[in-house]
Structure formats: C-alpha cells, structure tokens
Structure 1
Amino acid sequence: MYSTDKEFKIKLNNPEFRYDVFQMINLFYSFADINFIELNSDEQVDLFVKVHEDTIKLISRKRIEEFVINKDYKIKEEVRKAVFKFLSKDTGKALPWGTLVGIRPSKKALELLEKGCSEEEIIKKFKEINGTSEEKAQLCIEVAKYERNIVNKDENTISVYIGMPFCPTRCVYCSFTSNPISGCKSLVKPYLNALSKEIKALSDYIKSRNLNIESVYFGGGTPTAVNNDEFEMILRDIYNYFVHNHNVKEFTVECGRPDSITEEKLRTMKKYKVHRISINPQTMNNKTLKLIGRNHSAEDAVDKFNLARQLGFNNINMDVIVGLPGEGIEEINYTCEELLKLKPDSLTIHGMSIKRASKLYENMVNNTQYEIPSQQELNEMYKATVELSKDLGMIPYYMYRQKNMIGNMENVGYSEKGKEGIYNIQMIEEKQTIVALGADAVSKVIFLEENRIERFGNVKDVREYVNRIDEMIDKKVKLLDSLYKPEQ
C-alpha cells in the first residue's frame, strides 16, 4: 500500500553530496519525509553516510557496510551507487534502472553510440556506473538507434503544439492543467477565441521567418472534450494556419477519452487531414476506470477504436498505465489481451507517477490507502507490456522517465515501422524548437550550435490566458526572435 507516514532521517558528513544521497533514498522511500539531521545531533537516524577519500561508509540501525571508491568514475556516481546498493539490500527492492534518475536515459546511449562505442561497451558502462540492468540498457540502445535517424538537425525546422485545457472529468492521478468541462463551459468559447488569435499570430510569425513545420500536435487535457462545432472550429484553424500548404509530415490529435469521441469529431479529423490519433483506455478493467475517475468503459474504448478504423484511420495510438491503483499482473495481462485483439498501430506504456498536484497524492497525504503491487510484480507487469509490443510487431521508438514513478520505471512508445510519433521524438530529445500554444503550453527554443534551450510558458489559468493573450503572443515572439532574428 502507498504510505506517507514514515520519516527517513539521514546524517551526511559532506553536504556536497546531499542531493545525490537524497535522490537515492527517494527511489526506495518515495513518499517518506526525508530529513537531513545535523552531524552534532544525538538524534538517532535511519542512515549515516560517511564519504572519505577512498571509501564510503554507510551505517543503518541494523548494519554497517563500507564501499571502496573506484577512482575511474566521478565521486558523485560512486556515492550514488554505494547508497543504492546499500538500500537495495535493506529493502529487497530490485530497481532495474539503478542510480539513473534523469528523464532521458536514451540520450546517454545516443551520445555513446555517436562516440563509436559498441553495444557491449554501452551496456557495460550502464551496469558499472549506474547499476542499470542489461534489459534497460538494451532498451536505451534500441531507442537511441531508432531516434538518431529522426532527431532534428535543422534549426529552421520546428514543431507546433496546441493545448486544450479541458477534460470530461479529472483523473485521480492527473496534475496537468485540465479543467472538468462540466464546471467551466462558459470559459470554452472565450478560450477558443483566444487560442484562435494565438494560432493566427504565430502562423504569421512562422511564415515571416520561413520556418518549416515538421509536425503539429493537438493535445491537452482532452481536445475532444468540447462539443462538435467547437472542435471543428479550432481544428479548422489549426489545419488552415499550420498544416495546409506546409508539407507537414505528421498531424496528430490526442483524442484521449473514448467518452469524448463522437463520429462527427472523427469525420472532422478526416476532413482536416489528421494523420495520427490517440485513443487512450489506460486500462481495460472497468473497476479500475471507475476508481481513477473515468466515465468511459473498456467497451467504449473498443467501440470508438473500431469506429475510427471504419472511417479510415490507419495510425491509431493507445495509452496504457502500469501501476494504477488496485491493479496487479492479472489486470495488466487482461488489458494486454484486449489490446492485442484491437491491433493498434502504436502503444504508449506509462508508469504510474504520483504527482504532488494530483488528487491521488492528496488522498495519500490524508491517509487514504491504495494497494499497489510489489516491485517484483511491477517488473513482471512491465514485461507483459513488452511482450504485447512484440506480439503486435512493434519496436520501441521513444522513452522518457518522470519523478515519483512507482517502481522507478519508464514511459515507452512502441510502434510499427513508419507509425512512430515524430513529435514525441522531437519533444523528448530537445533538438527541435517547439512553438506551443494554449494555456500552460511551454515553448522551447533550441539553439543547436550552442547546445542551449530557452523556454517560455503561457499562464496556466484559463481566465488569465484569455485576458493576457496579447502579452502571451508578444513574449513568445520575443523569445523566438532571440534565435530567428528578423531580416534587417
């Protein structure tokens, strides 16, 4: 069960390694209150970490262990590894990513590939430096090999993201800017009008700088949460200003919730040349869907998927979450069996992440108990999704990780050859400028030659976004001008 009632106390003789030690403890005690205690305090602690010139000594309430520092590696890496190994023994948890906590582990593999390292050498480095399992190291290599032919290399090629901050309901695990539409219908039209204004302004900017649009992604929230007419109005603008006559390689709409998808909306997407859609059941277990706050059933997901197929959509992604409250290997196996029958063109497997802004985290703080599987069972659940991807003839094409993921796992996108999400790759690898529109949308300007990123985020609140739309446009243009300077 989830629990937040434990405090974890630490003493550390060198504050230089405070962040590294904290990160490792957080892997094993994600929801504990982790506190560093002063060295001169008499208070009993759960762990005492002593970093010396040649050794790292760890003392818990039950045992003492000393690790010899390998001078071939960075001292911070050795501290992380020592704490990780010590806590692995204490907790009995087998965390396959080892000490890796970054959100883009495939980047590390890609860098090593580009330096000429063999796959065997890369796996060895992952194991020795980070304690990463061979399976996860190989996953990084597979993703890196796939991505390197797609990752952007042209500074004048961009992607466009458009966000819809409304959903049918708010899921218990959600921390995004997504407002249940039933309670804010009066905000929809003002929001769409402001978004339309931003779309037109940024389209003019992109044309004035002769930028090439590679992909357009309409996400959220849930883009299909609005009614049929509202959906067509904004999709028409997106198509006319960013897709038509732009030679866009990919136009994606993240339909998301099956209960928000209608035949009219699907026909609208076909009308405006949407290439790729996502229909996201998250699980095919109705009991879980009810528990996490979804209004749709597994049968709704099947019906909407089949309807999309009948209307000619040949690139459909489906999302699944591993580690949802109350789910174990039996439930994930059932979800995999049902998705195998549907045969989607791509899958995105998410690990459950407990965000502080989510209702799930709030419930945990208030001591509401949720059953979750053991680490061993979580590892088996992930293996089931890997087998599903193989049965569907898919390969991994992008990957990222998040903080506070149950089991310290990963999110992976699998697809058939040629059905990968181009936007997903460019967004994760951060080698392409993303012009992002809508409430809480974050634009990223990539300076390739300088290996530098500048960001600008629109305001989160829908009312503020509507009231300050001119300011949002001006600030975004100013940021873009720092790279795409106007001709004198």
Structure 2
Amino acid sequence: MPVVARLQANSPIFAPDLQQLGQVFFPGGELAIAVPEAPDDGGVSAAAPAAASAAVSGAAPAATAGTAPAAASAGDSGPAWQVTVTALPVDTGPDELPGMTAQPRPIRWRVRVEAIAPDGRRDAQEEVVAAQPDWSPRQYDHRLRRAARRLMLAVLGGLTGIAPGWGILTGVRPTKLVHDLLDRGLPMAEVRRYLAEEYRVRPDKVDLVTEVAARQRPFLRHGAGDPERYDPRAISVYIGIPYCPTICSFCSFSIYPLQEHRGELPHFLAALHRELEIIGAAVAELGLRIESLYLGGGTPTSPPDREFAALLEQIERALLRGQRPREYTVEGGRPETFNRFKLDAMAAHGVTRVSVNPQTTVQATLRHLGRIHTVEKFYRAYDLVRRHPHPFVVNCDIIIGLPGEGPAEVAQTLADMRRLAPDNLTVHTLAVKRGSRLHGEGAGPEVLRRLTPQEAEAMVAEAAATARSLGQHPYYLYRQKYMVGSLENVGYARPGTESLYNIQMMERRQTVIGLGAGATSAWFYAPANWLLKAPENPSHPGTYIARVEELAWRKVEHLRLLFGGETLAPAPRPPVGTETGF
C-alpha cells in the first residue's frame, strides 16, 4: 500500500502522538513514522535532552516498531504528506543539558510542527514550554507531547480541513480525565474550560463528556450525588461465552463459530462451572457484594436451551449464593438465539437486563456482515422480550459506518428504534480492528475513508437525537482506535435504567472479576484509588479448559490480597472435562 504520510520527530517520546494523530488525519492510510531510538535505560526522564542531542547530532531517526521507515521506499507511489515535530532548547545550548531535575531554574523548550501537503501547501507553528522546578521528568515529557499534539492539530487541521471533535484527546476513556479533575476539586466550569483550552476539545464534545461524567458521579466512588452509598466491598462480575452462530465481519474478538466447536462446548461449560464454584466461594469468604453481573461474549445465548439454563442455575448456586445483584445483564446479541424457554430461565434466575442487538435493520447489510438472522427475526426476538411478563430492561446496539451504509440506511434503522423504543440505545461508530475480517481482507482503509468526518458526525448526531426523543440521556462513552470519523461510542438510557456494569467497567472504579474464556479482570484498590494489574483468562477455549484451576485460584489469591482473608491451599479437584451431565 502506498505511504500516505511520512511523520518524523527528533525524540522518541513523540512516536505515539505521530501514530495516533496520523490515524485521525489520514484514516486508513499507510503511515511511515520515524523517531530516534529510545535511550538504553528505556526511561522517558531524559526525553527533552534526548530530543536536543538527536537534533544536534543529525542522527537519522529510526523507524518505530510496526511502521514503515519515513524515507521513501519502493512501495511508495507519488508524493505523500510530510510532518516533522522538533523539540529544541531555548535557554541553553546542547552542551549544557544536565538532567531536568538538576536544573536550578526553569528552562524553556520550543516545540515546532511543520507539515507539507502533497500539492506543496505548507504550514508551521511552534509553542514554547517552560519547565517548572517541581515538575518531574515524566510531567515535562507530557507537557512537551501535549504541545506537539496541539500544534499538529492546528497545522494539519488547517491544511486538511479536518477538525477533530475530540481535539488532541486520543484515549479510550475521555470521561476518566473529567472524573480525575472533579476529584481534585475543580468545579465543572473549570473542567470544561480546561478541556477546551488544554486539549482543544470542541464545545459539543465538551458538553457530551461532561454530561456523561455528571450522570456517572452518583454511581462511582467519591460520587457527588450520594458518596455515602459507596460500598468498598461491592464488585462486578463478567462471564464470557466465546461462541457465536457466525462471526461478523467487523468483529475483532476471539470468538468461535458454535457449529464448528459444538463438541468443545460441554468441556468449556464444565470448566466455567468449576471457575464459578471457586470464585463464588472466595466471594462468600471475603464478604463481597456482587452489584452487577454481565453475561457476555460472544453470544451467551448460543448454547442449547438446557445447557443455557444449567449455566444460569450454576451462576445462582455457586456464585451468587443468595445474592441479588442490582443489575444482571444477558448480552443476547444475536436474535436467532432467543426463545421463550431461555427468557423464562433468565426471569427465574433474576436477570434484569437483556440486549437484543440488530446493529442495523437493513437486510442487505446484515447479509454483508455475515449475520445469518433476518430483520424479521430481530423484530420477533425484540417483541418476545418486550412481551415477556418479567420486566426486563431492553437494550439495542446499533453501529454507524457499516460497510455499504449511508444516511438513508442509518435513517431506516433509527426509524425502527423510534418505533420499538428500547429502554437503552447504544450507538457505536464502526472501528476496523486488526483482528477483524474487514481488516484481514484489506477492506479497512476503504471503509474508514468512505464517509467523510462530517457525514459520520451527522449520522451520529441523528442517532443521539433519536435516543433523546425516546427520553434517554447519555450515561457512558468510550473511544477506540481506527474509528470512522474518529468519533465515539455512546450508551443512552432512560433515567433509572443505566447499566451499572457499563459504568463501572468503563470508569475502572470498582473491582471487576472476569470469568470464562477471554475475560479480563480489573483489580481496584479502594484505599489508594489504585487500579492494579489483573490476570486475563486465555481467549482460546481449549487453553482455558486446560488451565481453569490455575487461573481461578490465582484470582482468589489476588482477591484475598485486595480484600483481606486467609490464604488457603486449593482443594484437589477432578480434572476438568471428567464431569458428567452435559
């Protein structure tokens, strides 16, 4: 693929910024990124001096891992964008650069960004960053990087005409920044100003992210709405079922077609039953309260009726042990896996929220995605849930930017959502991940470029208007790499139906225990407000089956360290797969 843009910098600290903002301004294009190699100590503390020494020595930048070299290569065809980031000292010469922490006075660095378009248009801007004596080297690195991002935004925005709504924010959780600022005591007005001035976030996105954060505060630790409600022993649990009827073209998760892995299913379920038993005993031992429980995947309603009902029974018997979570979600994303038997089982075991996810109600798109259900099957599944005597909260997921869809197709799906009126509407913007079939078939760049940012934003805005017309408000959001229009995913809900799990999972202020294949845990240490590294379960079902005892007991040891409790040796158990009953 021809290189669309060559981006280089004279310090390795700028490599992530070149990559991330390069994806924003040149979506789907091949980027050639080059920076000097990082210092041998691997640290970032001497980044600014490293930048100066690289510039003075004239050393050629080295290509970063996973990118093409910035110099022209045989694969290039025609001119490409040229972007250069340079950081140089203002107050001192290159021979007078001790470590930042040794400076007796602030020193200033000039960050400059220059860009040249393929047609010869060019622009350059610069910003001076003054180090304060109490800044750590890492803090100064962040200041330099933020300055470079602002300059790239201004220069490339002017030359390309692209005005990213999220400014220089590229992280998954923009609400995390808002919560951190609020926790430090900043009033919301100051938070809004900071987002606009420091990160160049557009006013409409400032409105969105601050509205979401304000609605989340009562549910989080240090929540502004009811801080006394916070329970340090409350947790969430995620259970992953790694099977689907078919694999959608946009899906990047480690999911397996059930028809091809049906013989493996009994062994997987036996392993999951065992993990539920081990973790359930630890939850009871430590006096933990399961606030929310999320059964996802994959499609957890994929197993046959009796196996599905047996799983719900095991969750209630081994994990919950009499507890009634405030929220219990089943992600029944594929309509063809629904029936009255499964809904009755969900109701009997305390499920409160069900997702019925069409992604689109355009039949041609469903076929193109590789989904085997029809739009009519979605309508029937939705009605089945809605008409059930148990008062399930119903969520529907839709995706903006699917291949082949434009304003007319999205309008059709939104009209259906207005007619059906789910309690929750989750609006995703398509992200073309490396693990998806779209990416593997080489269709990713075309999909990412097919809609202009303005077209994608208009459809997302129409989806937001649809949700608000249903009496819903935004309550959680997140962003991903390689998204159409560099936009966001937003969950909307009628007041009182917000998904607790979605909030806690996204904001990372509560321990989440992940069970099943591919499930990830998050350890939150409440006394210090720390998020600690937690183990991940293998995504391949066979590996999970073979290692379930080891994985489960490792989580138990971690939970005992987090919440206190005796360290007990695991009791010997028969090998997984030898149980009967499946």
State the match for 2:559 in structure 1: 480
Structure 2 match to 1:22 = 19
> What residue number does 2:257 align with?
180
Q: 1:176 to 1:59 in 2, by over 3 A?
A: closer
In the alignment, what sits opposite 1:10? 7
Structure 1 equivalent of residue 268 of structure 2? 191
Contact 1:21 1:79 (C-alpha < 8 Å) held by counterparts: no
Is contact 2:334–2:358 with CA below 8 Å preserved after alignment? Answer: yes
With the length of structure 2 as denominator, give the TM-score of the two structures.
Answer: 0.79
User: Are positions 1:117 and 2:186 aligned together?
Assistant: yes
Alpha carbons of 1:306 and 1:335: their partners in 2 closer, same or farther (altered >3 Å)? same
1:348 and 2:426 matched:
yes
Deviations 1:165-221 (A, max 9, x none): 000000001111211111110011111111011111111111111111111111110
Q: Deviations over 1:285-321 (max 9, x none)?
A: 1111111111112221111111111113341000011
Contact 2:351-2:392 at 8 Å conserved across structures: no
The one-letter code sitting in structure 1 at the alignment partner of 2:20 is Q
Structure 2 gap ranges (5+): 36-57, 61-69, 73-80, 89-108, 131-141, 222-229, 568-582
Does the aligned pair in 1 maintain the 2:243–2:258 contact within 8 Å? Answer: yes
Give the aligned partner of residue 99 of structure 1.
Answer: 168
Match of 1:455, SS state, is: coil
User: Which of 446, 466, 470 is matched with 2:545 structurally?
Assistant: 466
Contact 2:122–2:159 (Cα < 8 Å) also in 1: no
Report if the CA contact (8 A) 2:560-2:566 is conserved: no
Q: 1:148 to 1:487 in 2, by over 3 A?
A: same
- CA distance in structure 1 between the partners assigned to 2:126 and 2:183 by the alignment: 32
2:308 aligns with 231
- Once the two structures are superposed, residues 107-136 of structure 1 have per-residue CA deviations (whole angstroms, 9 ceiling, x without a partner) of 212233344434443222212122211111
SS of equivalent to 1:158? strand
User: Aligned letter for 1:60?
Assistant: I
Give the distance between the partners of 2:310 and 2:32, measured in 1 at CA. 52
**Displacement after TM superposition at 1:472 (Å):** 1.5
- Structure 1 alignment gaps of length 5 or more: none
SS, match of residue 514 in structure 2: strand
1:142 pairs, out of 211, 226, 236, with 211
The match for 1:444 is 522
In the TM superposition, 1:128-167 aligns within 5 A as: 128-152=197-221, 153-167=230-244
Q: TM-score, normalised by structure 1?
A: 0.94
2:110 counterpart letter in structure 1: D
Residue identity in the other structure for 1:95: P
- Report the counterpart of residue 432 of structure 1 in structure 2: 510
Is 2:315 aligned against 1:318?
no
User: For the pair shown, which has the larger CA radius of gyration, 1 or 2?
Assistant: 2
Judge conservation of contact 2:281–2:319 (CA < 8 Å) in 1: no
Distance 1:422 1:393 in 2: 19
Deviation at 1:19, TM superposition (A): 2.1
Provide the residue aligned with 2:102 in structure 1: none
Q: Which residue of 1 aligns with 2:101?
A: none
Aligned residue among 181, 188, 195 for 1:126: 195
- Whether the 8 Å CA contact 1:48–1:60 is kept in 2: the answer is no
Q: RCO greater where, 1 or 2, for CA within 8 Å and sep 6 or more? A: 1
Instruction: Check conservation: 2:29, 2:445, Cα contact below 8 A.
Output: no
- CA 1:203 to 1:270, structure 2 compared with 1: closer, same or farther past 3 Å? same
- CA apart distance, 1:76: 1.5
- Provide the residue aligned with 1:423 in structure 2: 501
The equivalent of 1:402 in structure 2 is 480
Tell me which moved more, 275-284 or 404-413.
Answer: 404-413
Contact 2:517 2:539 in 1 (8 A): yes
**Residues 10, 157 of structure 1: alpha-carbon distance in 2 compared, 3 angstrom cutoff:** same
Whole-Å Cα distance in 1 between the matches of residues 410 and 210 of structure 2? 26
In structure 2, which of residues 78, 86, 90 is the aligned counterpart of residue 50 of structure 1? 86
Q: Structure 1's 371 and 473: CA in aligned 2 closer, same or farther, altered over 3 A?
A: same
How large is the RMSD of aligned CA atoms in angstroms? 2.2
Distance 1:452 1:444 in 2: 7
Shift in CA distance, 247/235, structure 1 to aligned 2, threshold 3 Å? closer
